[in-house]
Amino acid sequence: MNFRFRIREVTKDAHLQLEGHHLMRSYSNGLEYEIALNLMYSFWSAATPKTQKLPSKFHSFLTDYRFALLTDCRKLNLNLPPTSKQNIYEEEALFYTLIGSSHGARVIRSRLKNKELPKEHLNILSEDGALLWPQMISTLNNVDPFRESEILNSGLKVFKDLYGTLENST
């Protein structure tokens, strides 16, 4: 089994748990959009890759996504959460989760009942993230076998930490 499928299998339950969280379901139908947006900003502004060995376009994407989250929060005049401590993740695990969220972003964007809500972060994630996905797959399929375990553990941690961010807000 190639590594892309291994990381998907290892993180599957945590991924489903995250998708099933009531804030994620509310986010996708617009009911608690502001809360979910604020929490996404809090999590992703603190999520930091351990290294910067992947192509710069991955890191530029993270910067652009963070800026889009901030912009959308400001358009809604949200009180931004205090800056969280940095959460360090293996680079491949962090970008697997973020870029892999492009499909979910398309679903959320299409389900928004209030079309006036700012959704620049969803646009960037669904459009630019989708363009990076083929290179992400290639990256995962070329992971050094000696690093697989640490990347798998880190991938699981990304999902669990994001879930924890949502859970701690309720």
| Residue of higher predicted confidence among 29 and 140 | 140
Split at pLDDT 50, 70, 90, the class of 25 is confident
CA neighbor of 96 nearest in space, from 2, 165, 4, 1:
4
CATH code for the domain of 38: 1.20.910.10
Q: How many domains does the chain have?
A: 1
Distance separating alpha carbons of residues 85 and 162, to the nearest angstrom = 14
- Of all residues in the chain, the percent with pLDDT exceeding 90 is 82
Q: What is the pLDDT of residues 58-110, one digit of tens each?
A: 999 999 999 999 999 999 999 987 777 889 999 999 999 999 999 999 999 98
- C-alpha 69/C-alpha 65 separation (Å) is 6
Distance CA 110, CA 93 (A): 27
Contact, 166 vs 24, CB < 8 A?
A: yes
Output b/e per residue, 13-39; b: 16+ Cβ within 10 A. Answer: ebbeebeebebbeebbebebbbbbbbb
DSSP 3-state assignment of 47? strand
Cα–Cα dist 154/102, whole Å = 20
pLDDT at 111: 85
Q: What is the pLDDT of residues 59-71, one digit of tens each?
A: 999 999 999 999 9
**Structural domain containing residue 79:** 3-167
pLDDT band at residue 170 under the 50/70/90 scheme = low
Q: Where would I find the H helices in 21-128?
A: 22-29, 33-46, 56-75, 91-100, 102-111, 120-123
pLDDT in tens, 102-138: 999 999 998 888 889 999 999 999 999 999 999 999 9
pLDDT over threshold 70, residue 5? yes
